[in-house]
Amino acid sequence: MPNEKYTDEDRKRAISLYRDDKWGFKRVANEIGCSMGTVRRWIDSAGIDHHPGPAYTPHFKDTVISDYKISDHISLDQLAKDYEISPQTLHRWLRGAGVETRSQRPRVHNYESIIEDLKGGTLTKKEIAEKNGCSESWVYKVQRNLRK
């Protein structure tokens, strides 16, 4: 007999939250502790029609886009999480507003300088990143490529 990961109560609760409380798949999945796909299968097997996602007001969209524009330090993912929207939705709004996302900006880094600093061994990854105008994760990527 297969080991059931979720109880019948979990399934009933998920269906109730979706149908009666009008929660979305993601919110229900987070509440139950399962995947969105699992919630979708439960909803489909119960014969419940999918309800449309949230309708965001133009003011809300403008606020989110404005926050992204004025912040150099917050990532698209973090801002989406802060506003409880998906990163894909935020990216679509930014693209629609003609806003260039950080991931679209061209990366021009002085690889030779980063490699030199890494081989020198006197600077931390953070110091190398600051010196070369890149992120620490970029320095890690360069270092990883050096090892190959």
What pLDDT, in 10s, does the model give residues 74-128? 778 888 888 888 888 898 899 888 887 765 444 545 778 888 999 998 999 889 8
d(CA 77, CA 67) in angstroms, rounded, equals 13
**Measuring CA to CA, which residue among 24, 40, 127 is closest to residue 84?**
24
> What pLDDT does 109 receive?
58
Residue 86 lies in a domain: yes
Please tell me the total count of domains within the chain: 3
Residue 1 lies in a domain: no
Residue 136 lies in a domain: yes
- Domain identity same for 98 and 63: yes
Contacts of 16 (CB under 8 A, 6+ apart): none
Range 35-47 average pLDDT: 94
- Domain identity same for 39 and 70: no
DSSP 102: G
Q: 118: burial class by Cβ within 10 Å (0-12, 13-18, 19+)?
A: middle
19 has pLDDT over 60: yes
d(CA 37, CA 74) in angstroms, rounded, equals 29
Token pair belonging to 47: 């014969």
> What pLDDT does 1 receive?
38
Question: Worst-scoring range by mean pLDDT, 32-36, 71-75, 114-118, 141-145?
Answer: 71-75
- Domain identity same for 125 and 92: no
Question: Worst-scoring range by mean pLDDT, 2-6, 27-31, 120-124, 130-134?
Answer: 2-6
What range does the domain containing 142 cover? 111-147
